[in-house]
Amino acid sequence: MTNEPALSLLWSEEFADHHGGHLLEDIWNFDIGDGASAGLVGWGNNELEYYTHDSVSINGNLLITAQRVTLDSGLTCYYGPAQWKSGKIHTAGKIGFKHGRIEINAKMPSGVGTWPALWLLGANLLDGVAWPHCGEIDILENTGAHPFQVQGTIHGDQYFGENGLTKIIQSPTTLSSDFHTYSINWTADAIEWFFDDLCYNTIKRADVESQGKPWPFNQEFYLIMNLAIGGWFAGEVDPELDSAQLQVNSIKYYSVDGIGQLILH
């Protein structure tokens, strides 16, 4: 009989406890716009949304709301007047994570054209190490066109974009019908993905490096949560769709058998 790993909670966000209804500025940053100011027009994916501060709110859960907007909204994207606004938040330069277990309890939006993501980027991106060399860990990506689909992926040099190392499973119910816990167990030598209590994907450092590919996952990463609309991954947007919402109940970060480091800036 094997012993269960020892989990020690290092940090959490319980959004039900945010009585003021605002994100803490010492934890979260907001991305604003269509990506052009960051040199990533359409956020590098031909996405349609313009990210705004007011698309993110707290009402018992964290709510990231995508809303179709009118031509007179005053929001201008790379393609002209914005069609959608939505929200994107991240912890870059404020809180970082290195190894351990990250659990996010969330309910996905519904609607063809939605693209919610719970993910991590290497913090050395802030020091000028370009993507994908910095590394990316997708705890979960989903699209409204595939409402049962659970997908966890890593990206790095030689395996990025459509060539990311990934695995997909199907949930018995749509991801928008209820809250689920999306997690990774992350060590120096492997990353495991969980859907609720099911481990559905394991990628080992040795297997990646045996193919002559780098493993950029032994450094600090920061957390990102966003709801994109359209783009190459999500595809065409249902013309009848007017709004969609990603809901996050909690985020928990643990060390596992003493492995895991919370980095405060």
Task: For residues 223 and 217, give the distance between their C-alpha atoms in angstroms, rounded to a whole number.
Answer: 14
Q: Is 220 considered catalytic here?
A: no
Are 217 and 223 spatial neighbours (Cβ–Cβ below 8 Å)? Answer: no
- At 209 the three-state DSSP class reads helix
Question: Does the pLDDT of residue 100 top 60, yes or no?
Answer: yes
* Torsion (CA) 71, 75, 81, 86 in degrees, nearest 10: -90
The pLDDT-based confidence of 2 (bands split at 50, 70, 90) is low
State yes or no: pLDDT of 1 exceeds 70. Answer: no
Question: For residues 26 and 94, is the Cβ–Cβ distance under 8 A?
Answer: yes
Whole-angstrom Cα distance, residue 119 to residue 184? 10
The question of whether 47 is a catalytic residue gets the answer no
CB 224 within 8 A of CB 117: yes
**Average of pLDDT values for 142-168?**
98
Comparing 20 with 95, the larger pLDDT belongs to 95
- On the question of pLDDT at 63 being above 90, the answer is yes
Which segment of 13-22, 51-60, 136-145, 170-179 scores lowest on mean pLDDT?
13-22
CATH fold group of domain 7-29+90-240+253-264: Jelly Rolls (2.60.120)
What's the pTM?
0.97
Catalytic residue among 47, 103, 136, 220: 136
Pairing of strands 221-229, 88-90: antiparallel
Average pLDDT, rounded, for the chain: 96
What is the H or E stretch that residue 141 is in? strand 136-143
Q: Does position 144 have pLDDT exceeding 70, yes or no?
A: yes
pLDDT at 21: 84
Query: How confident is the model over 154-170, as a mean pLDDT?
Result: 97
Q: Catalytic: which of 13, 141, 162, 192?
A: 141
